[in-house]
Amino acid sequence: MCIYNIIMKCVSVVVLFTPFPVASPTPLNGRYTKSIENYKLTVPHKLDSRGDFLSFDLPHFFVHDPSKSRRKRTSQDSSMVHYGLTLNGQDHVIDLWPNHEFLSADLIVERRDPKLRRASERFKRIDREKICHYTGEVRGQNGSRAALSTCDGLAGYIILDNKRYFIEPLEHHQPNQQGQHLHMIHQSNSHVDARSAHCGTSADWEKAWKKRFRDKLLKTGQAVVGKRGTTSEHRYLEILVVCDKKFITHHKDKDMENYIMTIMNMVSDFYHDASSGNQMDIVVVRVMYLEKEEEEIDLVINTDAESTLASFCKWQVKINPKDITNPNYHDIAVLLTSGNQMDIVVVRVMYLEKEEEEIDLVINTDAESTLASFCKWQVKINPKDITNPNYHDIAVLLTRYDICADEGKDCGLMGLAYVAGACTKEENCAINEDGGLTLGIVVTHEIGHVMGCAHDTEGESACPSQAEDESYYIMAPYVHMFTTRWSTCSRGFMTALFENNLGDCLNDEPEVSIYSMRNALPGTIYDS
């Protein structure tokens, strides 16, 4: 009998409070991460505020209220939720608070399919009455962190003793009659933990910064001069998330929207880490599904990382509202394919279900051409009005393509971005290969490049890839499960971006739309 069937039989008759190691070399799949070899199995449970057992029923929701953003956390907060887990052989209480910061009040999810004529078919608002993304800590453990989504089981990460643990439900497992839901806790994965899984962004960060300074001088006629005291100012990275056709196909049998928000919840937590040295909020303003990717003009997505990045960055400019007060205007676009305190705010989610019909958009295995195509395409879809609540600052592409560089010779790439591309028109974008929950690390890393960060190696930023405790910094060139925080070099890069007025577009707080989906035509709010 296979190990999966044995596990299923055990769970049906035994109440599991602690994880147990599986000695078999047979890898198992999680709901989102595949072929996990180093894992433990557990049945999490919900606790009351005292830490006493409450229920095996894990899902928990809150009403999204942007006015509660940045409110000081207290242990008496009635909106908290608590879970029991065993890590490193010890029982722990995970205390979680609602993450109100990273979702725009006017976030829209958009399906890019020419056959969908009615606005009600193409656009939808998130259900603000049923949000399930939390951040928090392990009770009594200094330096611990947690970013967990509680929509249908637990999914996300926990940091304890400078080690990162990912947790997600076991693939195809559903809660039994008692509500017990089998989960996997894992720290390494053969797909992304090998040194072949790396970022494809160029090592020549100095060239990218010089270009930004030169462009600033040509635009304003003034030399860039650093200023002090900018780290206390609050910044908002308004994000467009674009999902290509391969990503959509791979996740078609799952709750794709919750998976995307689970990833962005983790990204948001990374940017809130004190090691960043600045106050920044990640705000998702728009999510787009490229259901007819092949029909997108000027957008090419394939395994060539650099061309994909260039394409994506140009494309996201076109789709961004021109009015920066538009609630769907984005600062940063992210492409998903299979001390700075920052808030990532999601303002727009786009599904490219007809990706092949997107004019000027080509997504394939060529990373460089895909990036170039995506960057060009995102310009066209960004609302012209920067006051539009769905205007984005940064565009992010999520893809399931195995993106490659060097004419297909290097296919270990996990992402690609333009260094210091924040607040530019056609380089404020990144492409990211989806490999499960570690996608949260990849997206955080690539947005870090957009914010001006170089790789943490002695030969690039002059900072090592690892800290003294042997954990990895976020901007290490390889994807590691033990990634925990920003290096002093990354902190310096991001601070320099702000002090030299190269990140001014991130100063505006996300707008709240005056429009209603029921009484406004799509063209009123969004550019076609």
Please tell me whether residue 266 adopts helix, strand or coil conformation: helix
Q: Is residue 183 part of a domain?
A: yes
Mean pLDDT, to the nearest integer, of 160-167?
91
Whether residue 402 is found in the same domain as residue 321: yes
Question: Which of the residues 295, 296, 426, 446 is marked catalytic?
Answer: 446
User: pLDDT at position 244, please?
Assistant: 92
Residues in the chain: 528
User: pLDDT at position 221, please?
Assistant: 61
Whether residue 175 is found in the same domain as residue 208: no
Instruction: Say if residue 12's pLDDT is above 90.
Output: no
* Percentage with pLDDT > 70 across the chain: 82
449 annotated as belonging to a binding site for a ligand: yes
Tokens of 260: 């995307």
Out of 158-172, 310-324, 471-485, 503-517, least confident range = 503-517
Whether residue 255 is found in the same domain as residue 167: no
Mean pLDDT, to the nearest integer, of 343-368?
80
User: pLDDT at position 226, please?
Assistant: 56
Whether residue 157 is found in the same domain as residue 208: no
What's the pLDDT tens digit per position in 241-270? 999 999 999 998 888 999 999 999 999 999
Query: The tokens 């490049």 sit on which residue?
Result: 449
Whether residue 173 is found in the same domain as residue 208: no
Exposure b/e, 379-388, CB count within 10 A at least 16 = b: bbbbbebbbb
Cα angle 213, 217, 218; round to 5: 120
Identify the band that residue 219 occupies on the pLDDT scale cut at 50, 70 and 90: confident
Q: Is residue 442 part of a domain?
A: yes
Identify the band that residue 213 occupies on the pLDDT scale cut at 50, 70 and 90: confident
Comparing CA positions, the residue from 278, 299, 303, 281 lying closest to residue 290 is 299
What's the pLDDT tens digit per position in 423-466? 998 899 999 999 999 999 999 999 999 999 999 998 888 999 99
Q: Which residue has the higher pLDDT, 210 or 59?
A: 59
> What's this model's pTM, rounded to 2 decimal places?
0.87
Instruction: Say if residue 117's pLDDT is above 90.
Output: no
Identify the band that residue 360 occupies on the pLDDT scale cut at 50, 70 and 90: confident
Identify the band that residue 147 occupies on the pLDDT scale cut at 50, 70 and 90: very high
Instruction: Say if residue 231's pLDDT is above 70.
Output: no
Gap between the Cα atoms of 290 and 125, Å rounded = 17
Tokens of 491: 């902190």
Mean pLDDT, to the nearest integer, of 495-524?
69
Whether residue 9 is found in the same domain as residue 158: yes
Task: Write down the H helix ranges in 178-227.
Answer: 205-220
Q: Is residue 152 part of a domain?
A: yes
Q: Is residue 472 part of a domain?
A: yes
Q: Is residue 56 part of a domain?
A: yes
Q: Is residue 525 part of a domain?
A: no
In order, the DSSP letters of 399-426 are E-S--BBTTTTB--EEEEE-TT-TT-SS
Active site (annotated) includes residue 446: yes
Out of 73-82, 353-362, 470-479, least confident range = 353-362
Whether residue 158 is found in the same domain as residue 211: no
Q: What is the 3-state secondary structure (H, E, C) of 483-513?
A: EEECCHHHHHHHHHHHHCCCCHHHCCCCCCC
Q: Is residue 246 part of a domain?
A: no
Whether residue 444 is found in the same domain as residue 383: yes
Gap between the Cα atoms of 197 and 191, Å rounded = 8
Comparing CA positions, the residue from 281, 45, 48 lying closest to residue 175 is 45
Identify the band that residue 488 occupies on the pLDDT scale cut at 50, 70 and 90: very high
User: pLDDT at position 373, please?
Assistant: 94
Gap between the Cα atoms of 64 and 46, Å rounded = 21
Last residue of a domain, one of 166, 188, 210: 188
Whether residue 171 is found in the same domain as residue 276: no
Number of independent structural domains in the chain? 2
Gap between the Cα atoms of 387 and 321, Å rounded = 8
User: pLDDT at position 187, please?
Assistant: 82
181 annotated as belonging to a binding site for a ligand: no
The residue segments making up the domain with residue 71 are: 3-60+65-99+132-188
Burial of 65 (C-beta count, 10 Å sphere; 0-12/13-18/19+): middle
User: pLDDT at position 15, please?
Assistant: 38
User: pLDDT at position 387, please?
Assistant: 85
186 annotated as belonging to a binding site for a ligand: no
Whether residue 412 is found in the same domain as residue 291: yes
Gap between the Cα atoms of 181 and 185, Å rounded = 13
Mean pLDDT, to the nearest integer, of 164-176?
94
Whether residue 214 is found in the same domain as residue 271: yes
Instruction: Say if residue 94's pLDDT is above 90.
Output: yes
Mean pLDDT, to the nearest integer, of 332-358?
71
User: pLDDT at position 191, please?
Assistant: 44
Q: Is residue 214 part of a domain?
A: yes
Burial of 350 (C-beta count, 10 Å sphere; 0-12/13-18/19+): buried
Mean pLDDT, to the nearest integer, of 323-338?
76
Out of 128-142, 220-234, 286-300, least confident range = 220-234
Provide the strand spans (E) within 123-210: 123-125, 133-138, 145-149, 155-160, 163-169, 183-188, 198-199
Q: Which residue has the higher pLDDT, 345 or 281?
A: 281
Q: What is the 3-state secondary structure (H, E, C) of 231-253?
A: CCCEEEEEEEEEECHHHHHHCCC
From first CA to last CA, the distance across the chain in angstroms is 55
Mean pLDDT of the chain: 83
Mean pLDDT, to the nearest integer, of 400-419?
84
Burial of 453 (C-beta count, 10 Å sphere; 0-12/13-18/19+): buried
Whether residue 164 is found in the same domain as residue 214: no
